[in-house]
């Protein structure tokens, strides 16, 4: 009897050990790193919430070690019918269990992106729309809609001035409406009472500051000249002179690659042609940077009324007070163009 009891006890212990081993084995599989990657990777789930695509991305992008285990865990948590959009980052140490939980709870990682050095509205749409879930088409529809632009205090020509160039962090699945609201908040934050007061003293509206800054940035490649160029254009505006800004002509004809402005270009009938129409054009000819707008607000006070690019093609500017001085500078630049066979 004692012998049988001893055998039964040993059997029970073996069963416990075996069961524990099996449980431990599966538990280890569940919590151990589930992906063959050396650095974090991003998985995107869009509005389609395509479960098969997610499984495919887990294999091709995240190199999941045990797809079957992931699917079993996802099924046990009823994830397939409860997918949430977003950008999710999988790190090398993550297990299948923690990954399913991340997806199931919508624990996405924000997108950090910078938009700067953007010229046209189409460039803005391409740059921003390509980095967020709502995409290019939806953004284009919104910022080309007169009523929507008006709701933010702009029109279709000036709406681009609402986008303050900077680095932003937001969730990839943000709606296009929420995105535009965020941009308006950033715009209002940029226009502090101090900046508004400086604009008023010029006097220019915030939109006009953006328009002038866009011309300044296209006029010179050197930031050191921004405030000088801004001061020159402000002098011309105050005297009622035509701005005669070559970059506005390039915008009007749709060709920023022009190295030489010809009389044929100056004849283009466009409100952006500042050789024909006085004052500032209807909207920015590029999306101005913060440094460009601050240069306008803090413009250099001087008497210059004329300028032309330096003949050494350095991107700097020759300034002049009189038209006679300007003609001399223009001649130097024209001779340099001819010498280098630039037409």
Q: What is the pLDDT of residues 147-206, one digit of tens each?
A: 999 999 999 999 999 999 999 999 999 999 999 999 999 999 999 999 999 999 999 999
Task: State the chain's maximal CA–CA distance in angstroms.
Answer: 124
Within this chain, do residues 229 and 304 fall inside the same structural domain, yes or no? Answer: yes
Neighbours of 217 (CB within 10 A): 27
Q: Is the pLDDT of residue 52 over 90?
A: yes
Residue 269: which domain range? 193-339
Q: Do the domain assignments include residue 24? A: no
> Which of 13-17, 80-84, 249-253, 258-262 is the least confident region?
13-17
Query: Which residues share a beta bridge with 308?
Result: 318
Within this chain, do residues 211 and 119 fall inside the same structural domain, yes or no? Answer: no
Cα 177–chain centre separation? 16
Work out the average pLDDT over 78-83: 95
pLDDT confidence band for 2 (50 / 70 / 90):
low
Neighbours of 237 (CB within 10 A): 19
Within this chain, do residues 95 and 204 fall inside the same structural domain, yes or no? Answer: no
Q: Do the domain assignments include residue 257? A: yes
Q: Is the pLDDT of residue 309 over 90?
A: no
Q: Which helix (H) or strand (E) holds 180?
A: helix 176-190
pLDDT confidence band for 5 (50 / 70 / 90):
low
Q: Is the pLDDT of residue 4 over 70?
A: no
For position 330, what pLDDT does the model report?
78
Within this chain, do residues 330 and 215 fall inside the same structural domain, yes or no? Answer: yes
The percentage of the chain sitting over the pLDDT mark of 90, rounded to a whole number, equals 73
Q: pLDDT, tens digit, for every residue of 221-266?
A: 889 999 999 999 999 999 999 999 999 999 999 988 888 888 888 8
Q: Do the domain assignments include residue 14? A: no
Q: Which residue has the higher pLDDT, 64 or 326?
A: 64
Alpha-carbon distance of 243 to 262, in angstroms, equals: 17
What is residue 49's three-state secondary structure?
A: coil
Q: Is the pLDDT of residue 10 over 60?
A: no
Alpha-carbon distance of 313 to 95, in angstroms, equals: 58
For position 217, what pLDDT does the model report?
96
Within this chain, do residues 163 and 80 fall inside the same structural domain, yes or no? Answer: no
Within this chain, do residues 122 and 97 fall inside the same structural domain, yes or no? Answer: no
Q: Is the pLDDT of residue 31 over 90?
A: no
Within this chain, do residues 249 and 161 fall inside the same structural domain, yes or no? Answer: no
> Which of 41-55, 136-150, 311-325 is the least confident region?
311-325
What Cα–Cα distance (Å) separates residue 35 from each residue in 39, 61, 65, 140? 10, 10, 5, 38
Q: Do the domain assignments include residue 19? A: no
For position 16, what pLDDT does the model report?
47
Within this chain, do residues 202 and 288 fall inside the same structural domain, yes or no? Answer: yes
Q: Is the pLDDT of residue 69 over 80?
A: yes
Q: What is the mean pLDDT of the chain?
A: 90
Q: Do the domain assignments include residue 18? A: no
Alpha-carbon distance of 62 to 69, in angstroms, equals: 15
Count of the separate structural domains present in the chain: 3
Q: Do the domain assignments include residue 17? A: no
For position 7, what pLDDT does the model report?
53
The residue among 190, 220, 251 that closes a domain is 190
Query: Which residues share a beta bridge with 45?
Result: 86
> Which of 73-87, 103-117, 327-341 is the least confident region?
327-341
For position 133, what pLDDT does the model report?
97
The residue among 86, 109, 132 that closes a domain is 109
Peptide bond into 179 cis (omega under 30): no
What does the angle CA 209 – CA 213 – CA 216 come to, to the nearest 5 degrees?
145
Q: Is the pLDDT of residue 6 over 60?
A: no
For position 120, what pLDDT does the model report?
93
Q: Do the domain assignments include residue 9? A: no
The residue among 140, 174, 190 that closes a domain is 190
Within this chain, do residues 237 and 325 fall inside the same structural domain, yes or no? Answer: yes
Q: Do the domain assignments include residue 5? A: no
Within this chain, do residues 121 and 100 fall inside the same structural domain, yes or no? Answer: no
For position 314, what pLDDT does the model report?
76
Within this chain, do residues 143 and 254 fall inside the same structural domain, yes or no? Answer: no
- CATH (domain of 72): 3.30.1490
Within this chain, do residues 205 and 295 fall inside the same structural domain, yes or no? Answer: yes
Q: Is the pLDDT of residue 318 over 90?
A: no
End-to-end CA gap in the chain: 111
- HSE-CB of 103 using CA atoms within 13 angstroms: 30
Handedness of CA 282, 288, 294, 300 (dihedral sign): negative
């Amino acid at each position: 009897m004692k012998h049988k009891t001893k055998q039964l006890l040993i059997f029970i212990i073996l069963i416990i050990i075996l069961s524990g081993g099996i449980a431990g084995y599966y538990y280890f599989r569940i919590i151990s790193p589930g992906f063959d990657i050396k650095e974090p990777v991003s998985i995107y789930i869009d509005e389609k919430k395509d479960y098969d695509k997610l499984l495919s991305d887990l294999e091709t992008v995240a190199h999941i070690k045990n797809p079957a285990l992931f699917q079993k865990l996802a099924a046990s948590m009823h994830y397939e019918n409860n997918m949430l959009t977003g950008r999710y980052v999988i790190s090398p140490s993550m297990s299948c269990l923690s990954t399913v939980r991340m997806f199931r709870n919508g624990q996405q990682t924000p997108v950090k992106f910078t938009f700067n050095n953007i010229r046209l509205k189409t460039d803005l749409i391409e740059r921003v729309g390509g980095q967020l879930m709502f995409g290019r088409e939806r953004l284009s529809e919104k910022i080309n809609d007169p009523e929507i632009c008006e709701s933010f205090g702009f029109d279709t020509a000036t709406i681009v001035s609402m986008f303050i160039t900077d680095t932003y962090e937001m969730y990839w699945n943000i709606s296009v409406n929420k995105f535009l609201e965020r941009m308006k908040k950033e715009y209002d934050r940029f226009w502090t009472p101090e900046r508004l007061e400086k604009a008023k003293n010029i006097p220019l509206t915030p939109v006009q500051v953006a328009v002038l800054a866009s011309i300044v940035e296209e006029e010179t490649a050197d930031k050191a000249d921004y405030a000088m160029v801004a001061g020159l254009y402000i002098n011309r505006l105050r005297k009622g002179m035509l701005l005669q800004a070559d970059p506005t002509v390039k915008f009007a004809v749709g060709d920023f690659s022009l190295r030489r402005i010809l009389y044929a270009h100056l004849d283009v009938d466009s409100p952006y042609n500042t050789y024909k129409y006085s004052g500032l054009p209807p909207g920015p000819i590029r999306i101005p940077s913060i440094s460009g707008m601050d240069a306008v607000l803090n413009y250099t006070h001087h008497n210059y009324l004329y300028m032309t690019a330096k003949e050494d093609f350095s991107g700097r500017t020759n300034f002049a007070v009189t038209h006679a001085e300007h003609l001399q500078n223009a001649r130097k630049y024209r001779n340099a163009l001819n010498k280098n066979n630039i037409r």
